[in-house]
Amino acid sequence: MRRFFILTVMFLLLAGNAFAIDGRAIMEKSEAAFYYPGRDFKARMVMKLVSAGGQERLRELTMLRKNYGHPGGPQKYFIYFFRPADVKDMTFMVYKYPDRDSDRWLYVPAINMVRRIAAQDKRSSFVGSDFSYEDVSGRNVGDDNHVLLREEKLGGRDCYLVKSTPKKTDVEYGWKLSWIDKASFLPLKEEYHDRRGEIYKVFTADEIKTVKGFPTITKRTMKNIQSGHRTEVAFEKADYNIGVPDSLFSERFLKQPPKRWIE
C-alpha cells in the first residue's frame, strides 16, 4: 500500500509536467500570435536605424501580409517603400513556405526591373536593419529545439522563458532565450546569444496594442549589443482582415502597386 502511494505521488508529479505546456508548444502558439494573426494584415511602419554613434537612417514602408493556411503554413508578403526618398516606389515581395526557402522578388524603379532574389541567407539583414528576414517573417518552429526553462515575470507580466537552440549551425547565433507573454503569447523580449555564449542581440516589445481583437506589437526594438547599433520599428497604422486580394502578390503590381493597398 505504501509502495502504491509512492508510485501514485511519483506519477502525479511526472504527470504534472505532462499537463503543463512544453517549449515547442509555447513557440508554436507564439508563432501563431506573432506572425499569423488574422487572415491578412497591413501596417504602415517607420524603421529607425540608429548607429552606435547616434546617427539615424529612416525607412518608411507599408507591409501587407496574407496567410494561406494554418499558422506555420504559407504566407505572402508585399512591401512598398516610401522612404528614403530615392527608393520611393521600390517594392519587395516574399512567398514564404514552411518546408523550403522563401521566394523573393525586388522591383528597382530606376531601371524598371524586377529581379528574383535567391535568399541563401535567411539571417541576413532586412534593409540594413538589425532585423533579419527571419525576424520579419518568422522562423520555422521546427528548425529549433525548444526547452521551457522556467516561468517568470517580466515587467509585471507572467512569461514563459524558452530556450531555442537551432538544430543546424547555419545561423549566426548559438541560442535564443524568449520571454513569451502567457496571456497574449507574444514575445516580450528575446535574447540572442552568440556561439561563445555572449549576449549578442536583444529584441524588446516596447508597446502592445490590441487591434481588431489581436494583440499587436506596435513598437519594437532590436539592439545589437556588441556593435551598439539598434533598429526601432513603430507601426503608424495597423489593421487586420481587410481583404487583401491574391492578385496583389504579382509582378504586375510589384511594378505598379495599387494606391489603396499601399497608402
Partner 1 sequence: MGKNKIRRTLVEFSVRRPKLVLLLVGAVTLLFMTQLPRMKTDTDPKNMLPATSGVRVWNGKVEKTFGLYEDTIVLGITNGKGVLNEGTLGRIKRITDGVLTLKGVAARDVSSFTTTDNVTVDGQTLKVGPLMTDVPKDSAGMGALRRDLFENPLFLNRIISGDGKATAIYIPLEKGANGKEIADRIREIVKREGGGGDSYYIAGDPVARDTFGAEMFKLMGVFSPIAGMVMFAVAFWMFRSFFLSFAIMVPAMVIIIWSMGLVIGLGYPIHIMSSMGPVFLMAIATDSIHIFNEFYFRYKEKKDRRAAILETMDAVAVPLIYTDVTTAVGFGSLTLANIIPVRVFGLGVGFGTIALLLLSFTLVPAILTFAGEERLERAALKEDAEAGRASGLLRRLAALGVHRPKTVAAAGLVLFVIAAIGTSKIIVNNNLIEWFKYHSAIRTADRVLNKSLGGTSPGYIVAMANDDDFIKTPEAMNYLEGLQHYLERKLPVVGKTASVADYVKRINRVLHNDNPAFDAIPGNKDTIGQYLFLFGMSAKPADLDNMVDYPFRRANIWVQLKTWDAQAMRDVIRAVGQYKKAHPIAMEFKPAGIAYFNLVWNDEVLWDMLKGFVTALVVVFIILAFNFRSFKWALIGYVPLLFTILVIYGVVGFTGKDFDMPISVLSTLSLGMAVDFAIHFVSRFKRRLFALKAGEDGAPGKEMIADSLLWTAARPGKGIMRNAVLFAAAFSVMLFAPLTPYVTVGAFIVGMMMLSSLLTIIYLPALITLLSGWLFEGGLSG
- Given the rule CB under 8 A, which residues bind partner 1? 49, 51-53, 55-57, 81, 84-87, 90, 92, 106, 108-111, 113, 115-121, 124-130, 170, 172, 194-196, 198, 200, 224, 226-227, 229
Closest separation in Å from C-beta 127 to partner 1: 5
Question: What single DSSP character describes residue 169?
Answer: S
C-beta of 18 vs 85, nearer to partner 1: 85
Alpha carbon 117 to its chain's center = 20
* DSSP-assigned beta bridge partners for residue 53: none
Cα 214 to Cα 17, 145, 233, distances in angstroms:
30, 27, 18
C-beta of 87 vs 234, nearer to partner 1: 87
Closest separation in Å from C-beta 46 to partner 1: 15
C-beta of 8 vs 226, nearer to partner 1: 226
Contact 36, 229 (CB under 8 A): no
Closest Cα partner for 159 from 182, 136, 140? 182
C-beta of 7 vs 117, nearer to partner 1: 117
Closest separation in Å from C-beta 237 to partner 1: 23
Closest separation in Å from C-beta 36 to partner 1: 24
Amino acid at 186: L
Closest separation in Å from C-beta 252 to partner 1: 16
Cα 70 to Cα 55, 73, 76, 213, distances in angstroms:
41, 5, 13, 18
C-beta of 1 vs 85, nearer to partner 1: 85
Q: Say how far apart CA 129 and CA 233 lie, in whole Å.
A: 10
C-beta of 91 vs 216, nearer to partner 1: 91
Closest separation in Å from C-beta 196 to partner 1: 5
- 170 three-class SS: coil
Question: Three-state SS string across 40-102, please?
Answer: EEEEEEEEEEECCCCCEEEEEEEEEEEECCCCCCCEEEEEEEEECHHHCCCEEEEEECCCCCC
Closest separation in Å from C-beta 53 to partner 1: 4
Q: Say how far apart CA 28 and CA 34 lie, in whole Å.
A: 10
C-beta of 146 vs 176, nearer to partner 1: 176
